[in-house]
Amino acid sequence: MHIGTTLTNYIIETQRDIKGATGEFTGLLNDIAISCKKISDLVEKGDLIGVLGAAGSENVQGEEQKKMDIITNEVMIEALESNGHVAAMASEEMDDVYNLPAGKVRGNYMVTFDPLDGSSNMDVNVSVGTIFSILKAPEQKETYTDKDFMQPGTTQVAAGYCLYGPSTLMVLTTGNGVQMFTLNKDFGEFIMTRDGVQIPEDTKEFAINMSNQRFWEAPVKRYIDECVAGTTGARDKDFNMRWVASMVAEVHRILTRGGIFMYPIDEKIKKAGNAGKLRLMYEANPMAFVVEQAGGLCDTGRGRIMEIQPTELHQRVPVVLGSKNEVQRVIDYHKEG
Ligand code: AHG
Ligand code: MN
Ligand code: MN
């Protein structure tokens, strides 16, 4: 596929390479692209259309919902439930599996999504995004349950994200490398702007929320201490730090110029009864698929994210992802204890 081709062309071509795929997969990716275009428009208009600020509610994980968390969730559902490509959906912003209303045609794919990642950044006009993961429905039926979604990340058919930044970008993998598409708003199409994206194996840039430093486990503390020590420590090179607080933006930076991103387990998270901050089904797995397809690694520090057998829809996991040699170093530090 050549640079400059449309996302529509690309997915039609891609589908030809997927065994047993019908026009349904093309249709589904198209539905996702349409919802991302709509969300991009809402994000851009922001305060002009009164979508900023808190919704006054909490999601199932006890997080304050922004108005846009709810609006974007609805945009995704509306785009995905109508065309017969989807069996069921699950979202960070919905308590339970979303089953299609009676009478709607059920498709063969299940979609999990984080409709607006980094939503706290909406109000301050910093990049946000939509993350999605596509799984095969285990069987055709009317009503799906959590159990149907309990598939490890290695079974994902496709995954990606849309980043709403200075440009709106769709980043996609169908298991055949990573492609980037930039939205040309003049004629409303995503155009391929990068193919075969590769994350550099080494980096001098790390991303972690340093305010949690006192709660970290020893391997994470050791790794970051060494980065901060720079040329005066074991690493013998100076590092730079970034923290956007939108995972989509961090992953995009890492795909573009390398880096390591970490949201590890820590004492504060454990005390709250959680196993991590980020969600396996909506954030970690789709990003792991993209990052691994670009030659990077995605791990908890103690195991490959995509091999985790999910046990709960809203399961959380520690995440360490990015440039191969740096992530491997963090894994090694966990082994050394
Ligand atoms: P969401 O807005 O979907 O809840 O996700 C926010 C996530 C992730 O995108 C980001 O990396 C992290 O939470 C930010 O966490 P801090 O608030 O600790 O910075
Ligand atoms: Mn998120
Ligand atoms: Mn979110």
Residue where one domain finishes, among candidates 194, 227, 244: 194
Mean pLDDT of 277-297: 98
Q: Which domain holds residue 280?
A: 205-336
The CB of 245 under 6 Å from ligand 1? The reply is yes
Per-residue pLDDT tens for 151-172? 999 999 999 999 999 999 999 9
Ligand 1 atom with least separation from CA of 263: 11
Give the pLDDT confidence score for residue 17 in this predicted structure: 73
Decide if pLDDT at 287 tops 90.
yes
Per-residue pLDDT tens for 132-152? 999 999 999 999 999 999 999
Residues 302 and 179 in one domain: no
Mean pLDDT of 277-296: 98
Long-range contacts of 150-153 (CB under 8 A, 24+ apart): 150/309, 150/310, 150/311, 151/310, 152/306, 152/307, 152/308, 152/309, 152/310, 153/280, 153/284, 153/285, 153/286, 153/288, 153/289, 153/305, 153/306, 153/307, 153/308
Pocket test for ligand 1, best of 263, 282, 321 (most atoms within 8 A of CB): 263
Residues 97 and 171 in one domain: yes
CA 197 to ligand 3 center in whole angstroms = 25
Mean pLDDT of 27-56: 97
Q: Can you give the pTM of this predicted structure?
A: 0.98
Examine residue 99 and state whether it is found in any structural domain, yes or no.
yes
Residues 122 and 248 in one domain: no
Give the pLDDT confidence score for residue 303 in this predicted structure: 98
Residues 39 and 111 in one domain: yes
Examine residue 311 and state whether it is found in any structural domain, yes or no.
yes
Mean pLDDT of 53-70: 93
CATH number at residue 147: 3.30.540.10
